[in-house]
Copies of this chain bind each other. A is one copy, B any other.
Amino acid sequence: MAEAYSRGLKQIAKIDPESGAAFVEDLKKISPDFAEFFVGFAFGKIHSRTVLDPKCKELIAVANLVAISDGKEHLRLRIEAAFRAGCTKDEVIEVIIQSVVHIGFTKALIALHLVKEVSEENLIARRDSDTGLAIA
């Protein structure tokens, strides 16, 4: 599983370049086995698959997490990851709008406010660094 593990680390770095590596280091201290499954399986085996294009893959994750709405931190992270994969703010919001039919407004509103938080943080970051991240 060594190969899957290093592939997983790369995927995590892609999704969360700022704090992904530190998150894994932290996880290893709590449970090295859980960390191995998380990195090697969830990211090395599953998230690294290329059947769906990267943007769609991230929107799928948002559609899953909006529905279970468990842990705002994870949903927020995947909303950020969707932006990093090149999804526009309108596309991420559209996943939430489509979800209303299946999960109702309550869970959808929680997700929508996370999109707002992520966008505002990025706007602030953009003003600071003028890097022009692709979030409308």
Contact = CB atoms under 8 A, between A and B. Distances in A.
Interface string A106-136: 1111101101100000000000000000000
A97 B103 CA distance: 14
B101 A52 contact: no
Number of copies: 6
A31 B102 contact: no
Contacts of A97: 31, 33-34, 37, 46, 49, 51
A115 B43 CA distance: 23
Contacts of A46: 37, 97-98, 100-101
A127 B113 CA distance: 33
19 contacts: A1-B1, A1-B4, A30-B115, A31-B112, A34-B93, A37-B41, A46-B97, A46-B101, A52-B95, A56-B56, A64-B99, A64-B102, A65-B67, A68-B68, A68-B103, A70-B106, A70-B107, A74-B109, A103-B104
